[in-house]
């Protein structure tokens, strides 16, 4: 077996009587990667409660799991079995002192390293680090708010292969953050529980990889084929998303949680989850294949001077309205299900073979555009050029802030994915938007789209249209197939009560509850063609 494919796993049978409510009583599985094994020679067990234990190992690779070795039993005595008095005090105090020395040494190393060297990193220019802001406390609130509830209802389970393995040392702050994650995992029986396969589980042998599509925010994305995935189809082209081998425990958990979010969505204009492969390594998330890639890349390929121009003409008004309607339909579906996207942009919309535009899968398809890294989470990079002023100031994310971002996406469609606020730095954009600025009007922009952008960029969030109001204004220009496939014309949407369009004459009207703002009112026939 090639060395690069080798893995070692350790299983300990934990005694039910000794752990009580502190940790789970099932066997614990740890994955020791090739890099960790080469560095440490295995895994070190520490701070185990008293009791009887057994351990065994096996090799795991893409080809499957090897056989378990014979179990090795060992016993950790309780405190009552040890000598009392000075020895007991010594055994208690010494580990604490050692841990304090290790922490102080790590912090000292980080401090001296930070003073003696400067880190140069290339990051996604469309995201602005919260730590770089000089605007005061507003950013902190925004970051915390984004982390708290960014994915709606999430499952508490994850794959056993989301091993309790911290990343290599990368500075004191990162070290503390990752080990806090590990400690929380060790003491949380819900997070340590094994990911339970459900009806979404697909046997690994039914999946074959064809080629790499590119790097996603968690790991490599592949094009592949799945056998027997859909009724009546022998094979189905799919996109296969993986998690990086060096991903932190937090990122591994996020990977499966974001996939779990997709299980609840069923809308033609939202990219579909097709299955999960959680047994063995690597964990795979199977998504609908969007052959034309993300909308930003697709729009740029339509520029006359683009080297990868497919020979298609520049989109006309009808094409641009169709894209806008499909994106608005997917967002209306999310709003109806009380889901706030928080990062709507052309790069996070996907284009199918028949040019249908769909909302991407919420963090797992975010294009890094050949940058060195993409930082997620509570201290991650934020898309300031697409964010509403209330999100920048106070960290407030609602469907109303998604509508602001939709206006920026319209601007991207008209300009064939130029950078918003071109010529301004991220700090300048931050101040400009918080001071009430919006993107300038485009000379070549059709009046209908320019007016729609202006409505999306109202400073008062309550004065912005909902996504269904946006569809009300463009439905007559949408293609007949939209009526058959959209959420907007579905019984689920039509069954909700319509809310009136916001106007400037209602500045003091109460805010619409999240989800209720998605009222639909397609009346008497819809599109007139």
Do the beta carbons of residue 470 and residue 488 sit within 8 Å? Answer: no
Beta-carbon count within 10 A of 354 CB:
8
Q: Are strands 128-129 and 357-359 parallel, antiparallel or unpaired?
A: unpaired
Do the beta carbons of residue 325 and residue 478 sit within 8 Å? Answer: yes
CA distance readout (Å), 356 to 49, 104, 268, 271, 485: 56, 56, 9, 11, 11
Nearest to 225, CA basis, from 204, 202, 209 = 209
Compute the distance between CA of residue 28 and CA of residue 25 in angstroms, rounded to an integer.
8
Compute the distance between CA of residue 29 and CA of residue 47 in angstroms, rounded to an integer.
16
Do the beta carbons of residue 36 and residue 165 sit within 8 Å? Answer: yes
Do the beta carbons of residue 58 and residue 66 sit within 8 Å? Answer: yes
Using the Cα atoms of residue 370, residue 362, residue 477 and residue 405 in order, give the sign of their dihedral: negative
Phi/psi of residue 276, each to 5°?
Answer: -135, 140
Nearest to 337, CA basis, from 362, 370, 303 = 362
Q: Is 379 marked within a binding site?
A: no
343 classed as catalytic: yes
Compute the distance between CA of residue 44 and CA of residue 36 in angstroms, rounded to an integer.
11
**Helix runs in 337-388, H state only:** none
Compute the distance between CA of residue 134 and CA of residue 427 in angstroms, rounded to an integer.
8
Compute the distance between CA of residue 391 and CA of residue 74 in angstroms, rounded to an integer.
55
Nearest to 334, CA basis, from 402, 393, 284 = 402
**For the chain, how are helix, strand and coil distributed in percent, rounded to 5?**
40, 15, 45
* DSSP string for residues in 279-321: SSSS-EEEEE--TT-BHHHHHHHTSTT-TT--SPPPP-HHHHH
Beta-carbon count within 10 A of 178 CB:
19
Q: Given phi > 0 = left and psi -120 to 50 = alpha, else beta, which region is 442?
A: beta
- Token pair for residue 140? 């902190």
Residue in the block written with tokens 């509403």: 388
470: Cβ contacts below 8 Å, ≥ 6 apart:
324, 328, 403, 406, 452, 456
Compute the distance between CA of residue 191 and CA of residue 159 in angstroms, rounded to an integer.
10
Where are the strands (E) in 111-247, listed by range?
Answer: 128-129, 207-215, 220-227, 235-242
From the list 294, 329, 343, 361, the catalytic residue is 343
Compute the distance between CA of residue 376 and CA of residue 365 in angstroms, rounded to an integer.
13
The annotation places the binding site for ATP at: 241
Positions at the binding site: 241
- By annotation, the residues acting in catalysis are 343
């Amino acid at each position: 077996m090639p060395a690069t494919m080798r893995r070692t796993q350790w299983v300990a049978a934990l005694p039910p009587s000794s752990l009580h409510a502190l940790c789970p009583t099932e066997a614990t599985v740890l994955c020791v990667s090739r890099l960790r094994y080469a560095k440490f020679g295995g895994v070190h067990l520490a701070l185990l409660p008293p009791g009887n234990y057994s351990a065994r190992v096996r090799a795991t690779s893409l080809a499957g799991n090897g056989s378990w070795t014979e179990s090795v039993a060992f016993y950790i005595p309780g405190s009552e079995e040890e000598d009392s008095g000075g020895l007991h005090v010594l055994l208690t105090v010494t580990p604490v002192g050692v841990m304090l020395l290790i922490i102080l040494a790590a912090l000292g190393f980080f401090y001296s390293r930070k003073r003696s060297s400067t880190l140069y990193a290339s990051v996604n220019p469309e995201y602005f680090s919260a730590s770089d802001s000089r605007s005061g406390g507003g950013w902190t609130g925004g970051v915390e708010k984004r982390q708290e509830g960014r994915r709606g209802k999430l499952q508490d389970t994850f794959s056993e292969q989301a091993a309790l393995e911290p990343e290599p040392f990368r500075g004191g702050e990162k070290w503390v953050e990752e080990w806090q994650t590990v400690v929380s995992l060790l003491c949380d029986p819900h997070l340590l529980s094994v990911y339970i396969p459900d009806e979404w589980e697909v046997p690994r042998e039914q999946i074959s990889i064809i080629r790499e599509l590119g790097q996603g925010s968690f790991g490599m994305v592949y094009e592949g084929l799945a056998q027997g995935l859909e009724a009546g189809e022998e094979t189905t082209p799919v996109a296969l998303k993986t998690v990086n081998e060096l991903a932190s425990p937090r990122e591994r958990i996020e990977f499966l949680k974001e996939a779990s979010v997709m299980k609840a969505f069923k809308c033609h204009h939202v990219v579909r989850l097709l299955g999960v492969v959680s047994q063995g390594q690597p964990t795979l998330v199977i998504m609908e294949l969007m052959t034309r890639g993300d909308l930003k890349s697709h729009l740029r390929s339509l520029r006359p001077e683009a080297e990868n121009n497919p020979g298609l003409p520049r989109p006309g008004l009808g094409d641009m309205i169709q894209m806008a309607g499909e994106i608005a339909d997917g967002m209306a579906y999310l709003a109806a299900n009380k889901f706030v996207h928080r990062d709507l942009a052309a790069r996070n919309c996907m284009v199918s073979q028949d040019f249908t535009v769909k909302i991407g899968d919420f963090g797992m398809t975010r294009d890094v555009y050949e940058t060195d890294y993409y930082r997620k989470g509570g201290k991650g990079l934020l898309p300031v050029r697409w964010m509403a002023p209330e999100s920048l100031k106070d960290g407030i994310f609602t469907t109303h802030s998604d509508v602001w971002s939709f206006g920026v996406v319209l601007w991207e469609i008209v300009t064939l994915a130029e950078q918003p606020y071109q010529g301004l730095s991220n700090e300048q954009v931050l101040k400009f938007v918080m001071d009430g600025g919006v993107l300038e009007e485009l000379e070549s922009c059709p009046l209908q789209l320019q007016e729609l952008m202006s409505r999306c960029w109202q400073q008062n969030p309550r004065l912005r249209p909902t996504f269904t109001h946006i569809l009300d204004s463009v439905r007559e220009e949408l293609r007949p197939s939209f009526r058959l496939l959209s959420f907007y014309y579905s019984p689920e949407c039509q069954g909700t009560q319509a809310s009136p369009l916001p106007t400037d004459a209602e500045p003091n009207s109460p805010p619409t509850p999240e989800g209720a703002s998605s009222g639909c009112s397609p009346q008497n026939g819809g599109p007139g063609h």
